[in-house]
Amino acid sequence: MHPSILAFSTTVQHIGMGTLLVLGFGFVIFWHELGHFLAAKWVGIKVEQFAVGFGQALFAWRKGIGFRAGNTQRDYKKKIDEHLAKSKKAQLANGGSVEYSDREISQAADELGLGETEYRLNWIPLGGYVKMLGQDDLRPDATADDPRAYNRKSVSARMLVISAGVVMNVILAAIMFVGLFLIGLKASPAWVGNVVPQSPAQMGGLKVGDRINTFDGKSEVEFTKIMLDTALAKAGMAMSVEVSRPVGNGFESKTFHVTPARPDENSKGFVALGFEPPVSLKAFSVAESEDLDLNKLKEYSPDAAAVEPGEQIVAINGANVIDSKDYLALDAAVQQFGKPVELTVKNGAGVERKSTFQPHFSLFFDGGFNVAGLEPRPQIAQVSDDSAARDKLKHGDIISEITFPNAAPIKALSRKSFMDAMKKAGSSGDAFSMTVVRDGKPLTFDGIRATAAVGDEKGQRGLGVVPSLDEKHALLGTVTPDSPAAKAGLKNGDTIISIDGKPVENWYDIHRLLAAAPADTDVAIAYTRDDKPATATMRLDANWVKEVQNIRYAHGLALLTPLEIIRKAPNALVAVKWGVIETRDFILQFYVTIRRMFEGSVALSNMMGPVGIFRGGMKFAFKGYDWLIWFLAMISANLAVVNFLPIPVVDGGQFVFLMLEKIKGKPLSPKTMAIAQYVGLAFLAAVVVFVTYHDILRRY
């Protein structure tokens, strides 16, 4: 296909998915308002408007008038006035003015065959409302003399109307989930595809290949649900995980207790366990990869596209793989102490070719890395377009020194300490100097400023680079305090030459040789310092040996697709059961999220507003129509919770007012209700501004 046609096709796909997402949001809102509408009609309340969206009407329809651009109010009022004027002819002839009661207007509409309800689509698609006679959220003293007015109905009837929207959202979520499980939902299975070193998952005993049966006491088959359950767990509280572990040609059942934690102990982000879903041995299709700049990807990571769009791995290191689900074979090949992996890949036309990639160290759970306390120098993996160092730093530059104004040069650098230094530079705004090693030669750049937007925190700035590890040179960036390396007297700048007499060329050799060292045994380290040879003795206890052996490698094949299973119910009854459970879980998870925020264990900046929800929805939409429905079902369940929070203006606040009226025997004073409504409105407006601001920070 011609590239211009591909680009056009991608644009159309984006527009189409965006349109479907907007229509989906609109339907969820419509369904919510339909609940209020049907309940109001059922208890005999006159509904004046049924609207999707806020603001002025784009289109409207009313029985007896038909469709109109804008609203039908003018035509409706004109017909009513003309009809009622006939009965008040004498008063009008004498120059008197006539006001019509709500009851007279309703009667006239019935006589003319005019619908009492205007159905309208408004231009701001962020909500909707049902306007009932005698009810106005921002005018608590609004009343009407019509017996069908909202204010003339019993408290119980009004409670039913107010809660009906929430009930309908719960029903819609359940219906959507049931439908999904009848047709089948493509999902990542609850299998462990990768374990992050030094993570709660690894320390708890989980391994690649484990298939999770129950998680925290609940049966689970989807990885997404596990991530949601984990994110809302309490830090420091152990969760039971029962798995089936591959053994020979079968599986054995094992149970572990894993304690979720935050990668950054000082943050208030969600907790995690540190394991990831499996990938298949297939790459994304050519069509799915249209937006990807392969040349740029290869520039940043030459091996990232070792498997290109439309290809599939058919052999690893000369051994044929069973099928595209054989991720265990890929992981086993990657965990060979940095040894390059040879692949045989086949494209859609059946043409095979050889490809080789270099595995790299996996970073630890907290973002750091060391081998028995030995830490490599940081290296530039990627420079963002908005980095102030865009015209200075390049992929592959090794960072050897940073100098801030009026401070001594920082020469002991690791990847983590480099990131901390850049965060500090972003906060202070001071210019600094950086020395890098490029092609074996030092280069110093002055006047660098950390100005690129980073993270969710207000005003947080960084250098706009992605640091990796200098794995090729066995030179120490720094040494972890109180580690075996520190106790052996090794320092930053030292170059390891050999370990126990075996030559060392790179960090893969350091890892391989120290992983083989017996516990509580002296290990001889030969190194150079300031070009002078020296020796040291290192001793690793059992804990340090285990930590070194737990270091893992990542394949970095960026185009491999997630491994997916089809979650499909065997019959309608099971689909209904799953749908109800899924809806219940999402409602409970949302309440837990709110509770965690009030407790302070989850930062408010983790909330998403309209921008974030739309961006998140687009990501799910591009996973397929099934995931678009899943996302809308989740939104419907969450909308039920949000709308029933005890905040004035939303349904939950109105319900609280009605409860107080029931207890007192009379409504709260109009003044009290008006103050509460405006405070609630101001609170919601502040929340929308806050979450939208953080949505934008996350994007830019």
Top-confidence residue, 141 or 103: 103
Burial 472-496 (b: 16+ CB within 10 A, else e): bbbbbbbbbeebbbbebbbebbbeb
Of 52-56, 459-463, 561-565, the one with minimum mean pLDDT is: 459-463
C-alpha 482/C-alpha 451 separation (Å) is 35
- The pLDDT of residue 414: 92
What torsion do the CA atoms of 672, 678, 679, 680 make, to the nearest 10 degrees? 110
Top mean-pLDDT range of 456-460, 577-581, 658-662? 577-581
Condensed to tens digits (0 to 9), the pLDDT of residues 124-150 reads 766 678 888 887 766 666 677 778 888
pLDDT of 514 over the 90 cut = yes
Mean pLDDT over 445-473 rounds to 78
The alpha carbon of 505 is separated from its chain's Cα centroid by a whole number of angstroms, namely: 41
Condensed to tens digits (0 to 9), the pLDDT of residues 16-69 reads 556 677 777 778 888 888 999 999 999 999 998 998 887 889 999 999 898 889
Which of 51, 57, 45 has the alpha carbon at shortest distance from 102? 45
Condensed to tens digits (0 to 9), the pLDDT of residues 331-357 reads 999 999 999 999 999 998 999 999 999
- The pLDDT of residue 640: 85
HEC profile for 439-493? CCEEEEEEEECCCEECCCCCCCEECCEEEEECCCCCEEEEECCCCHHHHCCCCCC
User: pLDDT-derived band of residue 76, with 50, 70 and 90 as boundaries?
Assistant: confident
pLDDT of 4 over the 80 cut = no
Condensed to tens digits (0 to 9), the pLDDT of residues 481-495 reads 999 999 999 999 999
pLDDT of 3 over the 70 cut = no
User: Does this model's pTM top 0.85?
Assistant: no
Fold exhibited by the domain 368-547: Pdz3 Domain (2.30.42)
User: pLDDT-derived band of residue 314, with 50, 70 and 90 as boundaries?
Assistant: very high
Which tokens belong to 605?
A: 């900046």
pLDDT of 473 over the 90 cut = yes
Q: Are the C-beta atoms of residues 215 and 226 closer than 8 Å to each other?
A: yes
DSSP conformation letters of 91-155 = HHHTT------HHHHHHHHHHHT--S-EEEEEEEEEEEEEEETT--TT-TT---SSTTSGGGS-H
- The pLDDT of residue 14: 46
pLDDT of 270 over the 50 cut = yes
pLDDT of 386 over the 60 cut = yes
- The pLDDT of residue 615: 54
Domain boundaries, the chain: 133-184+569-700, 279-362+556-562, 368-547
pLDDT of 638 over the 90 cut = no
Which tokens belong to 11?
A: 């644009």
Which of 500, 503, 495, 419 has the alpha carbon at shortest distance from 462? 419
User: Which amino acid, residue 170?
Assistant: V
Condensed to tens digits (0 to 9), the pLDDT of residues 203-241 reads 999 999 999 999 888 888 888 888 877 876 777 788 899
- The pLDDT of residue 600: 59
Which tokens belong to 365?
A: 């759970």
686 phi/psi in degrees, rounded to 5: -65, -40
Residue 278, SS3 per DSSP? coil
Mean pLDDT over 187-200 rounds to 93
Condensed to tens digits (0 to 9), the pLDDT of residues 250-265 reads 899 999 999 988 887 6
- The pLDDT of residue 687: 55
pLDDT of 602 over the 60 cut = no
User: pLDDT-derived band of residue 13, with 50, 70 and 90 as boundaries?
Assistant: very low
Which of 521, 518, 483, 523 has the alpha carbon at shortest distance from 502? 523
Which of 504, 681, 695, 582 has the alpha carbon at shortest distance from 138? 681
- The pLDDT of residue 692: 46
pLDDT of 383 over the 90 cut = no
Mean pLDDT over 460-472 rounds to 87
pLDDT of 470 over the 70 cut = yes
- The pLDDT of residue 611: 47
Distances 669 to 134, 410, 672 between C-alpha atoms, Å: 16, 66, 5
Confirm whether 279-362+556-562 and 368-547 share one CATH topology: yes
Q: What percent of the chain has pLDDT over 70?
A: 83
Contacts of 79 (CB under 8 A, 6+ apart): 64, 65, 112, 114
pLDDT, averaged across the chain: 83
User: pLDDT-derived band of residue 94, with 50, 70 and 90 as boundaries?
Assistant: low
Condensed to tens digits (0 to 9), the pLDDT of residues 138-192 reads 666 667 777 888 888 898 998 999 899 999 999 999 999 999 999 998 888 999 9
C-alpha 124/C-alpha 324 separation (Å) is 46
User: Which amino acid, residue 559?
Assistant: L
Fold exhibited by the domain 279-362+556-562: Pdz3 Domain (2.30.42)
